[in-house]
Amino acid sequence: MNNAIEPITFENRNGRRLFGMLHTPAAKRSQYGLVILSPGIKSRVAPHRMYVKMAERFCAMGFVVLRVDPEGLGDSEGEIMEKWTADVYCSMELGRLVDDTVDTLDWMQQQTGCDRFILAGLCGGAITALLTADRDARVDAILSLGMTCILASSNIDPAKYLTTKQLDSIREKYLKKILNPEALLRFVTFKSDYRLLIKSLIAPLKKKPAPPPANPAPDDKDAAAAGGPMNSNLNPHFPKAFEKFISQNKILLIFSEADRLYWEFEEKYLQHYGDAIKPYQANYDIQIVADANHIFSFRKWQDEMLAISSQWLERHYG
Amino acid sequence: MQEKPFFFEDEAKRLFGILHLPPAPKPQGYVFCHPFAEEKLWSHRVFVNFARRLCRAGHPVLRFDYRGHGDSSGDFEDATVETRVADIQSAIDTLCAKVEGLAGVGLIGLRFGASLAALAAENDTRVNALVLWEPVVKGAQHIKEMLRINITTQTAVYKEVRYNTQALIEQMRAGQSVNIDGYEIKLPFYEQIAALDLTKTNGRFEGNVLAAQINKKAGLGMRRIQALEKAYPQITMIEVVEMPFWKEIREYYATADDLFARTLAWMEIE
């Protein structure tokens, strides 16, 4: 008997019909149900069908795997009303998809009998997994790809919260183009982003981060009280949820080396909260895929990501 | 209205589709032909919402994934222009089998999906209308743009171009695949898409055609689709104003109001 795949639908708590795909192994080898969560707006399939490949791989290992489109995304009912994509991302980073994820676990428990879960996801899917785990004790583990720990917004200066590595990368690009006639033309015709240019050029001269403002923005106060960075776009829910989860459960964090999300996690979270999570080192595993970009475009990056994920699942939950 | 997800299959493939079925279906049905690679994902909600709009007007609609795409079986790298056209024909077969009394099927395609719809319409007498949203008129230009995505990825991660366009083509000639945004393409597909030219159809499809050039601002003209005017005897050409929702853009695009309204008006749907 082969592994089975079937389209499924169910209603969420708002009465919207959600569409998904259930992968059932020929021989179930694990008590855990594995749910792969929507990465931002790219639905249950994900960039270059990454979730299809993951689901097939994990199903072949004996896991029941479910991929679902949340309300307003993919094929599901409902609508997202935000005007800007960054604001959609922000709403997800603040937990927009948590209710649908809990409803998904309810459905899966009822239909498959799995009552413990591993949540997996890229970017928006990863943060949704963490925020869901914060609310639902059935989540035992998280397989995170490119965890985002910041808040996106359409309403901020894109240069304001860049990491050191982002500034390094931008500076490198500017310097490479210094003799490029098109770039020079843009510079003298006021089409260049002068603030970003200057910020990237003076970044190496700054030995220490800028001092905190006298009156931190409201979102900064919680972070500051917890010993975190002020004047940062760190997701205020992230530090507590992350620490709480790893104090009792396991998480695999796979990052792409050339992804700003990795740089942000290091600079905005680990640098400030690293000491607080040290006691739980056995529960979190950070793996970096060399050179890879955010969506693991090249096949060798995909293969490495899949190999790391499978080995971790096999080791802990096989 | 029903929206039913299902697989339809034969020995070669298992395709995923969603049938949008109104309570009393009109005899005109539609099959949607999605664009290439990541463009499919970015434009997905626009397709979903236009299918729902047509269904509310009483028309049965089938949206589906070509093999190697979305939830359908197969590997992307094995799919060619020919397999995609064959998949559109399977989708038409399926729609006709599932909905009794259909008098005709319209094909609606976006970008490369529009080009595939045009090819599928050439030899299928069931197709009585063709809607081409921002069609790829000449494949050679399109595939060049796609190869450039590979080069952009190289630049972003390696800070240099290790393989230029010519080297990528040589790789395909040597039997390797080339990666575009995570999708692998091989030489047969590359060659077929490079040879695609909708202006050389010589009007083989004689039904009604709507071709829409999608511009960010009004008044930019229809240069990209102009050449189609002579290829189809019954063509209506329009310029619509929308952001390029098949790419990553700042705006969140779930509907395309101008495109929807102009297309529905052409279809004579209120």
Q: What is the DSSP letter of B21?
A: E
Q: Does A57 touch chain B (CB under 8 A)?
A: no
Tell if the CB–CB gap between A86 and B250 is shorter than 8 Å. Answer: yes
Q: Does A300 touch chain B (CB under 8 A)?
A: no
In this prediction, residues B70-93 reach a mean pLDDT of 96
According to the model, what pLDDT value does residue A1 have? 63
Nearest CA in chain A to B68: A49
Last residue of a domain, one of A229, A244, A260: A229
- Do A213 and A297 have their domain in common? no
d(CA B170, CA A309): 33
CATH code of residue A72 = 3.40.50.1820
**pLDDT tens-digit map of B220-264:** 999 999 999 999 999 999 999 999 999 999 999 999 999 999 999
User: Which residues of chain B make contact with A293, given a CB cutoff of 8 A?
Assistant: 153, 156-157
- Do A306 and A237 have their domain in common? yes
Q: What is the DSSP letter of B136?
A: -
- Do A140 and A199 have their domain in common? no
In this structure, which topology does domain B2-138+198-266 adopt according to CATH?
Rossmann fold (3.40.50)
According to the model, what pLDDT value does residue A195 have? 67
* The 3-state secondary structure of A127-192, one letter per residue: HHHHHHHHHCCCEEEEEEECCCCECCCCCCCCCCCCCHHHHHHHHHHHHHCCCCHHHHHHHHCCCC
Nearest CA in chain A to B2: A17
ipTM score here? Answer: 0.94
According to the model, what pLDDT value does residue A158 have? 64
**Mutation test of the interface with chain A: which of B55, B252, B257, choosing the one with the most A Cβ atoms within 10 A?**
B252
Structure-block tokens of residue A134: 């914060």
> Count of domains in chain A?
2
d(CA B119, CA A279): 62
Structure-block tokens of residue A197: 């240019």
d(CA A277, CA A247): 8
Q: Are the C-beta atoms of A233 and A150 separated by less than 8 Å? A: yes
Q: Does A263 touch chain B (CB under 8 A)?
A: no
Last residue of a domain, one of A229, A244, A263: A229
- Do A37 and A136 have their domain in common? yes
Nearest CA in chain B to A296: B182
Partners of residue B240 on adjacent β-strands: B214
3-state class of B242 per DSSP? coil
Q: How far is A1 from chain B (nearest CA, A)?
A: 17
Nearest CA in chain A to B245: A85
- Torsional class of B70: left (φ above 0), alpha (ψ -120 to 50), beta (otherwise): left
According to the model, what pLDDT value does residue A213 have? 40
In this prediction, residues B83-90 reach a mean pLDDT of 96
Query: In chain B, where are the structural domains located?
Result: 2-138+198-266, 139-195
Burial of residue A162 (number of CB atoms within 10 Å: 0-12, 13-18, 19+): buried
* Residue B150 Cα distances to B14, B178, B184, angstroms: 29, 8, 10
Amino acid found at A197: L
Residue A100 structural domain? 4-155+233-317
**What sign results for the dihedral spanned by CA atoms B154, B158, B162, B164?**
positive
Last residue of a domain, one of A197, A229, A261: A229
User: Which residues of chain A make contact with B71, given a CB cutoff of 8 A?
Assistant: 5, 7, 21, 44-45, 52
**pLDDT tens-digit map of A79-103:** 999 999 999 999 999 999 999 999 9
Instruction: Give the number of other Cβ atoms within 10 Å of residue A213's Cβ.
Output: 10
- Do A167 and A295 have their domain in common? no
pLDDT, one tens digit for every residue, chain A (318 residues): 689 999 999 999 999 999 999 999 998 888 899 999 999 999 999 999 999 999 999 999 999 999 999 999 999 999 999 999 999 999 999 999 999 999 999 999 999 999 999 999 999 999 999 999 999 999 999 999 999 999 988 776 667 667 777 777 777 777 777 777 777 777 777 777 776 677 677 767 665 554 444 444 444 455 555 555 556 899 999 999 999 999 999 999 999 999 999 999 999 999 999 999 999 999 999 999 999 999 999 999 999 999 999 999 999 998
- Do A252 and A145 have their domain in common? yes
Q: How far is A241 from chain B (nearest CA, A)?
A: 28
- pTM listed for this prediction: 0.90
Structure-block tokens of residue B136: 């790829």
Amino acid found at A287: Q
Q: Are the C-beta atoms of B62 and B95 separated by less than 8 Å? A: yes
Q: Which of A42, A244, A248, A311 is nearest to B41 (CA)?
A: A42
- Do A262 and A149 have their domain in common? yes
d(CA B53, CA B269): 10
Structural element, H or E, at residue B14: strand B14-21
Amino acid found at B39: E
Instruction: Give the number of other Cβ atoms within 10 Å of residue B32's Cβ.
Output: 26
- Do A186 and A198 have their domain in common? yes
**pLDDT tens-digit map of B168-215:** 999 999 999 999 999 999 999 999 999 999 998 655 799 999 999 999
According to the model, what pLDDT value does residue A183 have? 76
3-state class of A81 per DSSP? coil
- Do A268 and A280 have their domain in common? yes
Structure-block tokens of residue A144: 């995170």
Q: Are the C-beta atoms of A62 and A29 separated by less than 8 Å? A: yes
Q: How far is B21 from chain A (nearest CA, A)?
A: 15
Q: What percent of chain B has pLDDT over 70?
A: 99
Tell if the CB–CB gap between A291 and B71 is shorter than 8 Å. Answer: no
Beta strands B14-21 and B2-9 are: antiparallel
- Do A265 and A182 have their domain in common? no
**pLDDT tens-digit map of B111-153:** 999 999 999 999 899 999 999 999 999 999 999 999 999 999 9
